[in-house]
């Protein structure tokens, strides 16, 4: 009989042989390690010890049939660990930012990196700008942007330039969603 011991994305194989029952009822057993394989393997490799047809059937059932699910489980586990580690680092960074503010270019780059990540839901990309706009609105209401002085002219300020970028990006998103009937068009025609 072949026993399979799974690690995260690989498995170790053992051949278990049971001898005949002894007079006292004990069945001696021997376990021989055959080697290990990555879950990406598609067939029993030639460098591993040969198996009988029955053993190959056991390997097919216990390893090859389960390997894709084990690989996906391992991938998700590693991904969750990376996200958790990144989240912990970001939390520490934000906690220390009161004493030592972070330059905005670094934060912008970090945010862009996060938004480039593929997610299991496209709605994340729509929710992220809404959350950012909400935070920015709270900051503006709290006076964090200050009040514009009489000079320079409004359109030459960084705040106005950034607002124009935001407005343009939202308008572009709206047009893209309209193309696929997710948002009403200006003419009043509703998406189908």
Mean pLDDT, the chain cut into blocks of 10 residues (192 residues total)? 91 87 73 93 94 95 94 92 93 89 87 82 80 88 87 84 90 89 70 50
Number of structural domains the chain divides into: 2
This prediction has a pTM of 0.60
Q: Is residue 123 part of a domain?
A: no
Out of 87, 113, 139, pick the residue that ends a domain: 113
**Per-residue model confidence (pLDDT) at position 46:** 93
Residue 87 lies in a domain: yes
Distance of CA 172 to the CA centre of its chain: 27
The number of helix segments (H) and strand segments (E) in the chain equals 5, 3
Q: Is residue 183 part of a domain?
A: yes
Q: What is the predicted pLDDT for the residue at 187?
A: 54
Q: What's the CA gap between 134 and 125, in Å, rounded?
A: 15
Alpha helices in the chain (DSSP H): 53-59, 67-96, 104-116, 123-141, 158-179
């Amino acid at each position: 009989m072949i026993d399979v011991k799974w690690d995260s994305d690989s498995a170790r194989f053992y051949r278990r042989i049971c001898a005949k029952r002894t007079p006292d009822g004990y069945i001696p057993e021997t376990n021989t390690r055959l080697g290990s394989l990555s879950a990406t393997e598609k067939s029993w490799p030639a460098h591993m010890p040969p198996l009988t047809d029955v053993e190959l059937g056991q390997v097919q059932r216990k390893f090859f049939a389960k390997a894709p699910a084990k690989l996906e489980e391992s991938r998700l586990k590693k991904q969750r660990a990376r996200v958790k580690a990144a989240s912990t680092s970001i939390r520490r960074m934000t906690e220390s930012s009161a004493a030592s503010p972070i330059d905005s270019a670094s934060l912008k780059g970090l945010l862009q990196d996060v938004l480039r990540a593929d997610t299991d839901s496209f709605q994340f990309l729509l929710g992220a700008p809404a959350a950012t706009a909400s935070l920015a609105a709270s900051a503006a209401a709290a006076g964090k942007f200050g009040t514009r002085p009489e000079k320079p002219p409004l359109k030459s300020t960084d705040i106005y330039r950034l607002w124009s970028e935001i407005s343009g990006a939202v308008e572009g998103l709206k047009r893209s969603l309209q193309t696929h009937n997710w948002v009403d068009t200006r003419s009043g025609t509703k998406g189908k």
